[in-house]
Structure formats: C-alpha cells, structure tokens
Structure 1
C-alpha cells in the first residue's frame, strides 16, 4: 500500500503524542483530525492505517480508534532506502507502460472505520440492522458442525456451492463453469491478472467502481475510460476504443452501476456482446447488485452470460453485498479454455477459499428464509432510496440526480460547479457526515463535480435523511 507524505506526517505526529498516553485511550474522531491537520478524510484514514500497522492503535468498529495495549512504535532505523527499492525497475525487454500501481485511496475511503459521531454515507456494505444476522449465525453454527467444513476443499470450490451458483446465474451453466472466489474484488483482480499482459489496455466504464481502477493498475494494465449514458456503456465509444487501442478486455457492471446507478438494457447488452465478439474481446460482467433490486424494481434483464454461447462473457457474482462484509464468497463463471487460465491464476493467488466460509455461504443460500431475507432487504432498500432521494432533492436541488435507480445502494449526485468535491467531503466530515468525492470513480479528471451517497451503511433511514439535510448549509455557504 502506498502512503502519501502527508498521511505519513500525520501518523508520525500522532505516534509521538501517543507514546505517553495510557493504553485504551480513545483518539480524536475522524472529523476532529481532519480539522486539526487540515487534510482530507482519506489522508486521515491512511494515517490511522499506518498507526494500526505500527501497533500504536487499534480500531473498534462503531466505537472509534484507541491506543493499543502494546507500546510498539516505529523503529528509529533509516528505512529511506526502501523508496528507491520500491521504484519499478526498467528491465530490458519490459513493455512500455507495464508498471503496476498500488494506489488504493478510493478503496480505502470506503473501508474507513468511523466513530459513532459520524453518519456513514460512504460505505458500501449493509449496516447490521439490514443484515440477516439470525440467518448468518445459524448458518455459521451449522457449518461448523459439518465434518467437511474442516477438510481442504476442492480448488474450484465446494461442489454443492458451485451447483448453487450455476443455477443462480442461469444460462445453462454447470458446476464445471464455476470457480468459487473470495467475493467480487478478489474475483476481479484474478480475472485481470489472468487475462491482461502488463502494459495492455483494458476498457472500463467512466465513471466506474474504484476497485476496478485499482485492480487494473495492480495488474499493470492501462484503463481506457468509455463514457456512460442512462442505459450504461455507450457502444459507439466502445467500438472506437477497441479499434483504437486493441483492448481485449471490457469491464461492465450491468445492473445499478457503481456509482451512476445506470442499468444496461437488454438491447444495449446485445450491442456490447456483438462489438466485443467482432474485436475478439472478453466482457467481464461484474454483476455485484443482482440481488439488490428494490421492491418496486420490476423485472431486470438476465445476465449477459445467459445469452453467450461463444464464451465472450466472464461473469462475477458475489454474496457479500447482501449478507455481510465478512462473508467474502463469490464466483467466477465462464465457458471454454479461459476457465483453466482463471483457475490457475486463482490457485496462485489464494490456493482456495476457506471451507468454513464456503459451507457457511452454502447454509445461507439454501436456508428456507433466504428468499424472504432478500425480499425484506429489497423493501428496506426501497424505503431508504425514497428517503435519500427526497433529502438529496431538498438539499442539492431537483436536478441533482440524473438517474434514480431502483436497485443497488447509492445515488450519484451532481454538484453545482462552484462546489469542490474534496472540499465538500472534508467539510461534511467535519460536520459528522462521511461521503465519497466523485473523483474516486474516474481514471482521469472529470469536469463535472459529483459525490456518491450510500444509504445502506447508516443505522436507519432517519439517519440518512438527517445526514443529507445536514449538508444544506455547506452547499449554500461554500
């Protein structure tokens, strides 16, 4: 993980101050640290991550950050040599631009541990009040009693879980077309390392999920942004990008895209597949929100892999978003020789997903209450969406939302041009609201300022409403 000089300075300052502080002492909140040091929320998060690595502090989700029991502090030796050693070596024969990058500020921001004084409109995982906690607890208990839970699972995944994923995704898939992975981000990273050679281009939506950008850079690939409209990825720009760059991988989020909320129509899906086949390119279908349709969503198009006899699509499906951030179980689905490549890459990266997690996931999705839990979640998400939309319209104006998605967990809010994303995010955190600057979702700079508001990480719909409306003075006064 890379750390900016500013985050390192903040961490070093706090480490020195904490040398004489008793263990168990609570640190200042995120927003207090933002105000004190005059830095962004991401910088504070990176500084606290450093302090955690050094053993100086420990985080307690929902409570805050505390002085650790141990008094380990950074060694005083000279580690400056590492700066040069960590620079990419320009070896003979290396393709131009084949440098891997590990900048994860966009991802780190969504995983920040916030104190109880901050309403989280940033996170992408369900608050415990939305999680099927009883079902998860029962599943974990039942899985623990299975003898197979403590045996090494097959590399491709527990057969019964692969069968379930094949049926859930559809399209005539069998267990042989399924590879169980450690949730969506892990699957995405595996796909990009398996398919892309260092320095190669990869087409991504613009804007797109920060984890997509981070995974592409970590694989040494060059993200090529292609714009969206209300129906998703624009196929005229896709054809031009594939012709111009020769890219052989296209990444799309077909339903309730992160961050815009746009969904690919069935016609647009067919157009993308046709263009990809003409160029001999794979389409990576990150179907992260398939089970996050709201109660009023109506029918959604089937996944792209359901109409893909030629093996163009590599499908990603995850259980994490609709259960818990800790149930990191997902699947890759693909036809043809590419599955052997994916399986090899997964084996090198992680060997296999731990059997206790797989069997717990299997218990969850085969429980009698699984579909009822998804239905209850859909109703809760619908209510939160409506509350969030009303609050956004009152705070930012009726034209702030180009898309009002009936699925997913977030809204893409356009800002008046006089507002700066980073400045608004910092001011919001200082006022007890965490949100995400739109810049995190672009490969390059965007001329239109946005923020993304998540409505699933806060304790209740009332908290979402209060937090969004709390931004009104900042919008007027900035």
Structure 2
C-alpha cells in the first residue's frame, strides 16, 4: 500500500488510494477513522475530510451519518455560538487547553475565553490545521475539544458527558432559583436547553431589574430581545451554561435575592 508522507498530497490523491483500498475489502467493512487516515497519508485534517467524502459522492461507499446513535446522543441548541459555548463549558473545565487554528473565528475565541479555557494556536498549511502539532509542538496537551473552522470540524469526545453536565447544571439552577427567588419566578421547569426564563412580577421595569442585577455582578438577557412584540409579563433569561463553574452559577443566582 502506498504511504503518503508528502504534505502536498491532494484530496483526489488520497481518495483514489482509499477507493483502491475499499474495493479490496468485504462488504460492510468500516473505513478507518479520520485520525488514522491523517497519520497514514501524512496529510492535514482538511484534505482527509474531503477525501473521505469523495468515495460516498461517487457511489463507492454508502454513508450513514449518525448510524448507531440514539436520541440521548443528540443535543439541540439555539445556534452556532450557543453550541460552541455550551460544548466548551460542558466538556472542558476552566484551565483546560482548546487547540484552535490560527487565525480563527473571533466568536470561537470569545467562547473559549469566556469559559476560562486556555486557547492553544495551531499552525495551518494550504490544507488547513496541522493536527500533528498536538503531538510534536505542544506536549502533553490532550484536549477534549478540537475545533477547525475551515471545514467546520468539531471533535468532542463525549456527547453523553456534555448532556450529563447540562442536566446537572439545569437541575441546580432550577433548585437555586426556586429556593432564592420563589416558585412564582419559575412557573415552567425546562427539560432541556441551556437557560431559564425568570418571570418577574407584573409592573416590574425590566431595564431597572437588569441594571440592578448587573450592579451586583449578575448579567441576564432582557426578555424583550426575544419577542416580536411586548410580552404579556416581563421575563429575563438566565443562562446556566454561561457560568464558568457551578459555584459561580449558584452565586450569581443568590445575588438576585431581594430584587424580585
């Protein structure tokens, strides 16, 4: 079998070699992992990702995205930035490294820094990020999160761990809100997501409440930002995924005592 150690190897070169390999295998055989192919061909992540897609596009293999996964492995969020923030905070504690291609999307940097993670720039070549630097350039980094913006590749070791962390935070946030502010503030307890809607008494000035909360060190999102018209009662949004730690989450909620 040909070994590709030349970084100039194109996606087409790799795809041709993969196709020859595939046609010699038995039906139902799974392709090697992305990481194994990067090592085998000596190429960057981006051309290998493109090469893996070409045999499926040409009918050589059948791709079944998500095969073997259940509902417990899927988490639906409100947008790309929310997904980045939620994933980073859930799978990596403050201080952990998160390798990023340099330069990278500023929203990714903002999400990582807000989560207290240590951003580690990885060099790029004509094909994208150089994952070999994870071993050669910055030992002993063993990241839980590896982001590449060129092909929108996000490697996360455990979706189940992410889901468990969010569930624990949600339950803690609900309990703390009810104990600190009363059950009327939270008439609906969510079963998913990454935030709570706090219902304020009728007649409460939303802007004044938010200013008072911010003066105490807790930032909330105004409910009017999320409505096409004026809501029936004032509400504010509290993100339980945004706090760096669960201790910060509890402290932030306790600061709201007496404002409702």
- The TM-score with structure 2 as length reference comes to 0.48
- The TM-score with structure 1 as length reference comes to 0.28
- Between 1 and 2, higher relative CO (CA 8 Å, sep ≥ 6) is seen in 1
